[in-house]
Structures are given as structure tokens and as C-alpha cells.
Amino acid sequence: MQLMLSVSIDALQKHSQIEAWPAHKAECKQIRLAAEEEEAGVIANPYSMTRVNEIQEYALAVAAEVMVIAWRSAFELGRPTDKSCTHLLALNFERRDDAPTLRERFSFSHTELISIDEEMERRRFLPADRLAMLPTREQLTGGAARRAQNAKGEHISATMMFYALNTKTGGSSRCYIADCTAVVDSVWPYLPLDKLNFNPNWERALKGILSEKHPPSPVFLAGLDLRGSHGDDNKRLMIEKFSKDQEYAALYMHDMKKMEARENAAKAKSKRSV
């Protein structure tokens, strides 16, 4: 099955999220309960339409995490070699039927940066009914509007493709997210894009983040990306940012302590098993 979605995500609008939380809390609880009920129905009926839409739901759920950790280094944002209008980021997963939650059912495998010319070439021999379900070249590239927007540097849009393979049944599904949009100053707040180093280990960092049972805060993701990009110098950049925004610092340190506690527990467990 092929799906295409068009979404706009501002990954780090933390102030508005915090202010809106008291009013949103009850609504969020109802959404969560409904999602749990829906997920139970999926498990009970493996051939339901809901199951077909799982890759779509998962893609939307993790899009912001992928954006913060992968985009800058994968698309080479802020450089003359920027590929956000000429390539799509393909994310490959293995799908498990027996995992208890939607997030745990998809195990990240690897990524591919695919030129849109190559993507279109692959479709040459597809039947018309399948082609009709796929995004057009204009939708994948974003056209002149995306090129103009990305050139300004305030917002960046790009296309992602999520592909999941069930290794037991051989079944697969994919979902395109076209025109996913990041607000540059919110997602990468430390330095201008052309001043940030690329993270050579962004794919490994993404695998670690997506393997977490619960998504870390966007603030933590931004700090993790910076740490992988600037090594020891990231401490200076973070201190400069934290001195201007104590709320940002508190959110980052909260998630950092939780992750360090999990890592220490895993190390202790590993030592006991030796």
C-alpha cells in the first residue's frame, strides 16, 4: 500500500505547548484512550483497515524526531550542496506483529538518500493504477515554492518516505510525507545552519532515539544533535543557549538524566550477566 501525507510540523514550539497543556490535558487523555482502544482492535483483527494505516500513523508520530536528528546532516542543510529539493529521505523499518505498542512494532533498519530523478525512474514500468497512488514529481520536490522558501532559510521543507517490511510474512507498506516543514530557529537554535557541523553519527543516533519506548522531548533531541556535531565544543554552545533560556535548560537536563539512568541500568545489567 502507498500513502502520501502533507504535514507541517514545528518541532520546538515549547512555550505554546506548555501554556496550552492545562486545557489540552483532558482532551489528550481521551485521544490516548481512543488510540489504545483502536490498537487493541488492530491486534484482535490483523486484517482490519486500521492495521493497513499503521505505517501512516507511525510516520506521523516520529516525523519530528527524524526531522531534528536526521535532516540537517542527511540533506546537508545550509550548504551549497543542500539536497532538500532534489532528494527524499527513505527510512527503512522491520515490522513486528507481536510488539505491544505501535512504536515498538517498527524497528529502524537504515536510511537511504534517494534522488527524486531516481525515484521517478524506478516507476517507469509500474501499472497506471499504482502510479495514481504515488506522489508526483512536483509533490516530491515541492516545486518552485519549496525552492524559494528553503532558499530564504527561515523554514525548511523536505520529503520523507517510510518503508516497513514484515520479515515473517513478506508483507510491506510505505508512506510518503511530502512538504514536512521545520522552523529553522526553533529546531536548530544554537547556530546558523551554515555554521553547524554535520553529525557523522546521525543515523546511529536516530536508531537509538527510535528504539526508545517513549519519544524524548524536542529540546533533548536538539541537544543530542548538537553533541554529535560539535563534540566537546557543544558544552560551550549549550551553556550560551541555556544562559538565555532557563526553561530550555531544565527540559534538556530532565531528559538527559533519564537517558543516563537508563544507560547506567543497562550497563549494570550487562555486568551482572557476565
> How would DSSP label each residue in 113-159?
EEEHHHHHHHTTTS-HHHHTTSPPHHHHH-HHHHHHHHHHSSEEEEE
All cell numbers assigned to 136: 508526483
Which residues of the chain register pLDDT less than 70? 1-52, 230-256, 258-260, 262-263, 274
pLDDT of 120? 95
- Rounded CA separation 125/183 (Å): 38
- Rounded CA separation 41/61 (Å): 19
pLDDT of 5? 52
Q: What are the CA-CA distances from residue 29 to residues 22, 36, 145, 195 (Å)?
A: 12, 11, 38, 41
**β-pair partners for 173:** 164
Residues 84-140 have pLDDT tens digits of 999 999 999 999 888 889 999 999 999 999 999 999 999 988 899 888 889 999 999
Asked whether the whole model's pTM tops 0.85, one would answer: no
Q: Which long-range contacts (CB under 8 A, 24 or more apart) does 192-197 make?
A: 192/78, 193/72, 193/77, 193/78, 193/153, 194/78, 194/79, 195/78, 196/72, 196/78, 196/226, 196/229, 196/230, 197/229, 197/230
pLDDT of 224? 80
Give the 3-state secondary structure of residue 29.
helix
- Rounded CA separation 71/177 (Å): 14
Q: What are the CA-CA distances from residue 36 to residues 42, 133, 251, 271 (Å)?
A: 10, 29, 27, 36
- Residue 163, C-beta contacts closer than 8 angstroms, at least 6 positions apart: 90, 91, 92, 93, 172, 173, 174
Q: How many CB atoms lie within 10 A of CB 75?
A: 22
Give the 3-state secondary structure of residue 68.
helix
pLDDT of 103? 92
Please check whether residue 109 is in contact with residue 96, taking contact to mean a CB–CB distance below 8 angstroms: no
pLDDT of 239? 53
pLDDT of 53? 81
